[in-house]
């Protein structure tokens, strides 16, 4: 069985958007307890020796066969480079389901999740191969302004997805950016 309810969200998003393909190289940010790792591993054929998956979380996980997992804080300076080393090349897909524990204070939670999303986008820009995809948890109203315009500049298609598997009352939303234009096309430092 799947380790998390989150697994059903990725299944639903992927059934619709078709981002996971056999043999892909994937990074999963905020991977615990490992539902997305299980779904991704199955869909790329990891156990048959196809593709590669690297994951990180603050919390430890039970191993997922074939997945390279690192326990750590993605927001620390060296985490992105360590993940790149573990991957050993470009990624086809960067997933982020990272969420800090909710404080219950809407504004504070919003700021925290935007910060995590910004760092995830920055990482995706550095590691994705041209044509690659980026899927990231945000909160409703959280991808306005810079975040959305940055994604639209760097990816061919950008959309928001609210999976059925997300609780109806949840403010959770995912942003899916497909078709990375490549680093040459990306402006800025």
Contact flag: residue 171 with ligand SAM (CB under 6 A) = no
Asked whether the CA dihedral 99, 101, 105, 111 is positive or negative, the reply is negative
16 is catalytic: no
Parallel, antiparallel, or unpaired for β 68-71 and 172-180? unpaired
One residue of 20, 46, 54, 98 binding ligand SAM per CB under 6 A: 98
Identified catalytic residue from 42, 52, 137, 171: 137
Residue 96: CB minimum distance to ligand SAM, A: 8
Residue 112: CB minimum distance to ligand SAM, A: 8
Rounded Cα distance, 61 and 49, in Å: 21
Residue 53 burial (CB count, 10 A): 26
Give the number of residues in contact with ligand SAM, rule: CB under 6 A: 22
Residue 154: CB minimum distance to ligand SAM, A: 22
User: Based on CB atoms, which residue is closest to ligand SAM, 98 or 158?
Assistant: 98
Q: Which helix (H) or strand (E) holds 139?
A: strand 128-139
Q: Are 128 and 134 in contact (CB under 8 A)?
A: yes
User: Based on CB atoms, which residue is closest to ligand SAM, 15 or 184?
Assistant: 15
Q: Which residues are catalytic?
A: 137
């Amino acid at each position: 069985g799947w380790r998390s309810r989150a697994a059903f969200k990725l299944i639903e998003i992927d059934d619709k958007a078709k981002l996971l393909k056999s043999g892909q190289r994937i990074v999963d940010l905020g991977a615990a307890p490992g539902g997305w790792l299980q779904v991704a591993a199955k869909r790329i054929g990891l156990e048959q020796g196809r593709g590669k998956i690297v994951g990180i979380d603050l919390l430890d996980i039970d191993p997922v066969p074939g997945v390279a997992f690192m326990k750590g804080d993605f927001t620390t300076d060296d985490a992105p480079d360590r993940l790149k080393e573990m991957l050993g090349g470009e990624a086809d897909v960067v997933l982020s389901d990272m969420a800090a524990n909710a404080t219950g204070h809407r504004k504070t939670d919003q700021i925290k999740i935007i910060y995590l999303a910004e760092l995830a986008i920055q990482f995706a820009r550095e590691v994705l191969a041209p044509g690659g995809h980026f899927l990231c948890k945000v909160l409703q109203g959280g991808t306005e302004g810079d975040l959305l315009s940055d994604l639209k500049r760097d990816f061919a298609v950008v959309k928001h997805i609210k999976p059925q598997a997300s609780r109806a009352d949840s403010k959770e939303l995912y942003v899916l950016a497909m078709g990375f234009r490549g680093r040459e096309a990306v402006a800025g430092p």
